Chain A
Amino acid sequence: MSYIKGLKCRECHRHYPKEVLFVCEYCFGSLEVDYDYEAIKKVLTKEKILSRPKNMWRYKELLPLEGEPTDGLNTGFTPLIRANNLAKVLGVKELYIKDDSVNHPTLSFKDRVVAVALSRAKELGFRTVACASTGNLANSVSAQAAMAGLRAYIFIPADLELGKVIASLIYAPTVVAVEGNYDEVNRLCSEIASKYKWAFVNINIRPYYAEGSKTYAYEIAEQLNWRAPLHIVVPSAGGSLITKIWKGLKEFEKLGLIPEVKTKVYCAQGKGSSPIVTAIKENSDIIKPVKPKTIAKSLAIGNPADGYYAKDTVLQSGGWAEEASDEEIVEAIKLLASTEGIFTETAGGVTVAVTKKLIEQKRIPPDESIVISITGNGLKTQEAVYEKLPKPIKIKPTLSSFEEYHRKEQ
């Protein structure tokens, strides 16, 4: 049984059928999935959710499929950790980490969106999936397409270090290295997506794909014993995650699963790639594209597709935005690891650094519930911290050599 009503334009609110469409043919606004919430309310209860396996599909009525899910059956329901050590350092009382650095199968939150994209792509009759990505998205599409038996095309800029694609190549997709600058790769992929009958996950089936992010918010609310946190800090690249976390919480409120949402949403970006932060601070209705320059490569989006909606969500919720420099990102990665034992990628460093700043600026009060969104794993961006860590202590293979060092240390 499907609860999708259809697609709806986010700009002019025109309705469209639930097909392979992604922009409004009138105003070229982006489309999003619209659901029959009255019908969902009758069937989706806390008891029903609790009776289901602990993965992202326990909320399947709120995801855009017509049949049963076929992908990502072990994805999601990642830990929500009470971060007391980090809370002490930051001087706050109630701090949580939603840890998608251990998501299945490729250790990032992208596994959620790709699971939805692939299940929906099959329903829509596609046999080939594709994406353009330098990291997490490529890994996830490659792995999940392999599991699903779908053909996968991964487009990357030709100058990307080989090490970055090993976590995709291992699943045997077709990896196409495009000789061109970042803008040219973007333009080419946009053209390929409009010509070939492939499910380009973040282009022509983007309305369905993006819905997967809502499960991150559903899980937080459920893991907080059916309530929304008062503050949530979210890393932003294209801006979609922010809007979907908000949509997810509001849907839970609408269905009566949680009380009124009073969450303030905060946007975190890397300095040098922060067009959404700029728009929020200037309260501008227009996102000015930038040429990204930050070590947080997974957030390096200069022309964010959902930037305007992310800005709108943040300000509507009463939240704010901040950016983190490369040095702050590295320090924050180290801080999270040394306090909570979580090794996050650079995007996580951005989120932790920005949370610290917002607390210092008193934008986030110290005595209210705060969730930090950790969306990826540090093992994927080791080069970012490699030079910034102390080297191991070298000793001879003798007890005396060890004790000599040990005495010095004491």
Chain B
Amino acid sequence: MAKKVVKLTFPQRLIKQPLTFQMAKKYNVMPNIRRAKVTETVGELVLELEGRQKDLEKGLEFLSKKGVIVEPIVGDIVE
């Protein structure tokens, strides 16, 4: 089993959709939410995902395709 820590940013139109749950169910990925913030226009979720490496990649690709911004929690590395 592999683990991955990511920051997800949800644009306003996606805030009300249960995308994290759908991703978890569809790709058998276990999310552990560590930090979350939601404002009127945007949502942010910091979580740890656990699953098979391939499933993690597919799950994050699913979120990206839906319009969620998936980023490493350390921010941009290339300075």
Q: Which residues of A contact B (CB under 8 A)?
A: 11, 22-23, 26-30, 131-137, 155-157, 182, 185-187, 189-190, 193, 202-203, 206, 237-238, 282, 284-286, 288-289, 298, 301-307
Q: Are A305 and B76 in contact (CB under 8 A)?
A: yes
A137 to B78, CA, bound (A): 9
Q: Are A284 and B39 in contact (CB under 8 A)?
A: yes
Q: Are A301 and B39 in contact (CB under 8 A)?
A: no
Name B3-35 residues within 8 Å CB distance of A: 5, 7, 9, 11, 34-35
Q: Which of A27, A185, A203, A303 contacts B46 (CB under 8 A)? A: A27
A190 to B79, CA, bound (A): 13
Minimum Cβ distance to chain B for residue A396 (Å) = 49
A303 to B48, CA, bound (A): 19
Cβ of B51 < 8 Å from any Cβ of A?
A: no
Cβ of B50 < 8 Å from any Cβ of A?
A: no
Q: A27-B34, A203-B77, A288-B42 are in contact. List 15 more A-B contacts (CB 8 A).
A: A11-B35, A27-B35, A28-B34, A30-B74, A134-B79, A135-B79, A137-B79, A155-B78, A237-B79, A238-B75, A285-B39, A286-B43, A286-B44, A298-B79, A302-B76
A37 to B5, CA, bound (A): 34
A132 to B75, CA, bound (A): 12
Q: Which 6 A-B pairs have the closest CB atoms?
A: A305-B75, A189-B77, A190-B72, A286-B44, A132-B78, A137-B79
Residues of chain A contacted by B42 (CB below 8 angstroms): 284, 286, 288
Q: Which residues of B contact A (CB under 8 A)?
A: 5, 7, 9, 11, 34-35, 37, 39, 41-44, 46, 48, 69, 71-79
Q: Which of A23, A135, A286 contacts B73 (CB under 8 A)? A: A23
Residues of chain A contacted by B46 (CB below 8 angstroms): 27-28
Which A-chain residue is minimally distant from B11 (CB atoms)?
A: A288
A145 to B53, CA, bound (A): 35
Q: Which of B5, B11, B37, B71 contacts A303 (CB under 8 A)? A: B71
A190 to B77, CA, bound (A): 7
Minimum Cβ distance to chain B for residue A15 (Å) = 18
Q: Which of A134, A193, A284, A306 contacts B75 (CB under 8 A)? A: A306
Minimum Cβ distance to chain B for residue A12 (Å) = 9
Q: Are B9 and A305 in contact (CB under 8 A)?
A: no
Minimum Cβ distance to chain A for residue B63 (Å) = 14
Q: Are B77 and A29 in contact (CB under 8 A)?
A: no
A27, A134, A190, A301: residue with the most chain B Cβ atoms closer than 10 Å: A190
